[in-house]
A and B are shown apart, each in its own frame.
Chain A
Amino acid sequence: MARPFPAIYILATSMSLVLSAGAGCREESPRPRVHVAASVAALVEAGLGDRVDVSAASSFAIVRQVIAGMPADVVVLADPTAMDQLVARTDIDVSRRRTLGWNRLVVVVPVSKASSFDGTLDSTAGRIGIGDPDATPLGRYSRQSFERTERWSALRDRLVMGGDARAVVSLAERGEVDFAVVYRSDAIANPLVEIVESIDPSTHDAILCEVAIVGRHPDSMAVHDAIGTDVDWTAAGFLDGDPSP
C-alpha cells in the first residue's frame, strides 16, 4: 500500500487555500440580501442584479426562512397573507410595505400543442401544472379559484404540483403537463407557452406583489425604492391600479 502522506498533504494544502480565499472574500462589505418570490425574480434581477444578492423561492418558503432567522434585508412577496405573517412577528421589523403591482392567473399550454388546442381546461383531458397550494401563493390562488368555481374535486387527480411559480411554468415549457395555471406576468413574455384562458380574478384573492424592508443593511432603503421603479413592471405583465374586480 502506498504511503498516505502525500495525498493528505495535498488535500490539506488545497483546503487551506480554499478557506483563506473564502476569508479574503469576506473582507468586502456584504451586499444587501434581497429575497424575492420566484415569479418576480427575473425582474428584480434585471434591475438590481449587480448591486444586491437576489435569491428566489416561493413566498411562503421565504417567510418561513426569514422567521427561522435567515439573513434578509428586503423581501418581495407575491401574497399579502405571507407579508402579514412577517408583520405579525414581534422579532422582525417590517417597514415600508408597499404594493408593486398586481397579477392575474391564466391557463397556458405548451406552444407545441397550442395549434391543436381547442376547448377548455375542463373539457380536455390531460395533466394540469399548478403551484403547490400548501407551499406557494400561486397554488393558493389557483386552488381558491378552482374551489370557488366548484371544480377542485373534479380536477384534483389531474394536477402536477410545482414548488414555486417558476417551476410550474417550466412544467409547461417542457411539455410535461398539458396545461398549467400560472401568473399572467410569467406567461406573457414566454415564447414556449401560449395563453388559452384567463381566470376570473373575482374567484380568488387579489394577487398583490409587495416589497418591504426587513433588515438593517444601510442600502436597504435605496434598494427598496429602486424595486418597481427601475424596471417597467407593467411591460412585464403586472397591472397597475385597483385590483378589485
Chain B
Amino acid sequence: MTLTDPAVWSAVEISLRVAFVAVIAMLGPGVLTAWWLARTRSRWSAVVDAVVNLPLVLPPVVVGYLLLRALGRRGWLGGLLHDQLGIDLAFTWWAAAIASAVMGFPLLVRSTRLAIELVERDLERAASGLGAGRCRTFLKVTLPLALPGVFAGVVLAFARSLGEFGATILVAGNQPGSTRTLALSIWTETQSQKGEDRLLTLVLVSIAISVAAMVVAEWLSRRLERRLGRRR
C-alpha cells in the first residue's frame, strides 16, 4: 500500500473535480427538464424523454464517440472553438466533465421527475390560487417538496461520474495529471508493466470514496426528510 503515491492523489483530485463540475453543471438544466417533463403534456414530451434517456441505454463508448465527433477538432463545436477561439475541449478535463454530465443527466432527470410527479397538484393549485405565478409556485412549493428526489438524483449522477470510463477515455483521453481519473488510473495500472501495488491502492481508495459518498448521502437525505416532516 502506497498511500503517499502522488499519482493516486492526482487521480482522486481529478475524479472529484470532474464529478463536482459535472453535477453542478447539470443541476439547473436537469431540474428544469424534469419539471417540464413532469408537468407538461406536449407532443414533444416523448421525444425529449427519449433523448434525455439515451445515454442510459447507449453503450458509453457510443456516447464517447459522438461527443468526440462533436467536441474534437474536426467536430462541429470543437472545430469552431479551435479555429475561432483557439480553445481545445477534447482531451482536457473539461471534456471528462462533459462526458460525466451527459452520462449522469438521465439519472438526475429521472429521479427528479419522479419526485415532482409525486408532489400533490392540489398544493400547486392552492399556491397559484393565492396568486403565485408558475415560477414562484415551482420555487416555493414544488421544488422544496421534490428536494429528496433531486438529491437522490444528484447522488446517482455523482456516483455515475466517479465510475464513468467508456465515454471519458474516448473524448478526454487518459493523461496523467489532467484527465486520468480514478477509473482510468485503475485501467492504466492493469495495462502497465509495473506491479500490483498502486493498483491495489487505487481500488481501495475508490471503494473508500464510494462508501463515504453513500454514508454522506444517507445522512443528508435523513436530515432532509426530517426537515420536510416526513420522518418515518
Contact = CB atoms under 8 A, between A and B. Distances in A.
Interface of A: 58, 60-61, 63-64, 81-82, 85, 127, 132, 134-135, 140, 159-163, 174-176
A85 B193 contact: yes
Nearest to B90: A176
Contacts of B194: 134
Contacts of A175: 73-74
Interface of B: 72-74, 88, 90-91, 169, 173-176, 188-194
B91 A64 contact: no
A64 B74 CA distance: 35
Contacts of B174: 132, 161, 163
B73 A176 contact: yes
A161 B193 contact: no
A163 B189 CA distance: 12
Contact of A135 (B72, B74, B192): B192
B61 to A, nearest CB: 13
Nearest to A63: B193
A127 B74 contact: no
Contacts of A162: 173
Nearest to B7: A134
20 contacts: A60-B193, A61-B190, A64-B190, A64-B191, A64-B193, A82-B193, A85-B193, A127-B88, A127-B91, A132-B188, A134-B176, A134-B189, A134-B194, A135-B188, A140-B193, A160-B175, A161-B176, A174-B74, A175-B74, A176-B73
B191 A176 contact: no
A159 B188 CA distance: 16
B72 A134 contact: no
Given A174-B72, A174-B74, A176-B72, A159 B191 contact: no
Given A132-B174, A174-B74, A160 B191 contact: no
B83 to A, nearest CB: 12
A127 B73 CA distance: 12
Most buried by B among A63, A127, A161: A161
A180 to B, nearest CB: 13
Given A161-B173, A175-B74, A134 B192 contact: yes
> Which 8 pairs across A and B sit closest by C-beta, in order of nearness?
A135-B191, A61-B191, A134-B192, A160-B91, A60-B193, A161-B175, A175-B73, A160-B173
Contacts of A85: 193
A194 to B, nearest CB: 17
Nearest to A134: B192
B62 to A, nearest CB: 17
A163 B90 CA distance: 16
Contacts of A163: 169, 174, 191
Nearest to B196: A64
A85 B189 CA distance: 16
Contact of B192 (A60, A159, A161): A60
A237 B131 CA distance: 79
A127 B74 CA distance: 15
B184 to A, nearest CB: 10
Centre residue among B173, B174, B193 by max chain A CB count within 10 A = B193
Contacts of B73: 174-176
Contacts of B193: 60, 63-64, 81-82, 85, 134, 140
